[in-house]
Amino acid sequence: MAEGETALPTETGASEPARAGEVTSGPAAAEAGGILTVDLAAIEENWRSLGRRVMPSECAAVVKADAYGLGLEQVGRRLGRAGCRTFFVADLAEARRLRGAVPDAAIYVLNGLLPHTAPAFVATNAKPVIGSLVELAEWDTFCKAKDWHGGAALHVDTGMNRLGISVDDAVALAPRIRAENHGITLLMSHLACAQQSENALNGKQIALFREVRLLYRGIPSSLANSSGIFLGQTAHCDTVRPGVALYGVNPTPGKRNPMRPVVELQVHVLQVRNVRKGETVGYDAAWTAPRATRIAVIAAGYADGLLRSASGTDEVPGANAIIAGKRCPFAGRISMDLTGIDVGALPEKAVRRGDLVTLLGDDIDVDDLADKSATIGYEILTSLGRRYHRVYRG
């Protein structure tokens, strides 16, 4: 987006009007099932507050999965302008998109080097996160043949047992840093239980990574993710890699959320209908009206990121929406495009066809919806659909 633009073309081809300091995208607001608002200023402030917490370590940004569902280019551009110099994405496609937003930043690709993709890293000026000896051999062969010195990260597995070379292999490879063109620009590992601050594996991984770092003196290192930042200075190393905390999810479960909220989701009411006591609502007849009531049917379902596990049934209360300033419970199974909400406790004219109800915002945050959905905030954010009209504020 060029400087000064205030709107993006919608899918209908028209430009959606935007307030000063806002950019819009997606289908037109009047045609979309709902409106998803992303506060870019809050994302920047979250990044800055984490950076202050870890000084003098560098605060990078993880923007994989379309910046956790909120818009890779928009988030990347905002953080790049704020001074973020290092970004992490999942794959090459994300790296290409991000490169247009942050022309001069370092971009690391966490999923590493797929076979025969080394030329694409050069074309994008991205760095693979090498997680196996096979990857390392292919990367070294390519770099030698093409005289490429763009660098790569070396991922050491200290206890996650997912990606990464073993500690023994890291020890064996350590002498390579004596070579002038060793090609390692970052040494990294990943914490498995950082959200559980008292988990003993955190201390074991921190200590093990410290031992590996001693063998790679002079190479910048990175261990802490969002929650890892709150484990203290021993986890910070040279660079921290916050992801979900940037987007407002609580990195310290069970404690006050130190992050600013980022997203607001409002969805249109399609219809308000009367339901008699004893009648059921939705698939499987899973919710039975305990009294004569009214059901507001909204234009969002599991195709839009309202997970089916947030359904309200006779056995399990579901998630809530805020309507007329009050929490109203979901009623019945969430379907692909529709969700029912029990609004019987509201005054009769409090909600009408076309009104917007709040699913995220006010006093319902991402963690609240995640809890009602029996999942985590990561899944809520990355499931938000593309059918919403999107507003980027700030």
Q: Which residues are catalytic?
A: 64, 283
Q: How far apart are CA 355 and CA 66, in angstroms?
A: 29
Write the DSSP string, 86-116.
EEEESSHHHHHHHHHH-TTSEEEETT---TT
Q: Which residues partner with 92 through β-bridges?
A: none
- Cβ(154)–Cβ(130) under 8 Å? yes
Q: How far apart are CA 90 and CA 109, in angstroms?
A: 5
Q: How far apart are CA 13 and CA 58, in angstroms?
A: 41
Q: How far apart are CA 163 and CA 321, in angstroms?
A: 39
User: Any idea which residue has 């990943």 for tokens?
Assistant: 190
Which of 359, 386, 332, 345 lies closest to 269 in space, CA to CA? 359
Q: How far apart are CA 393 and CA 391, in angstroms?
A: 6
Phi, psi of 264 (to 5 degrees): -135, 135
Q: How far apart are CA 350 and CA 184, in angstroms?
A: 61
H-helix or E-strand spanning residue 266: strand 263-275
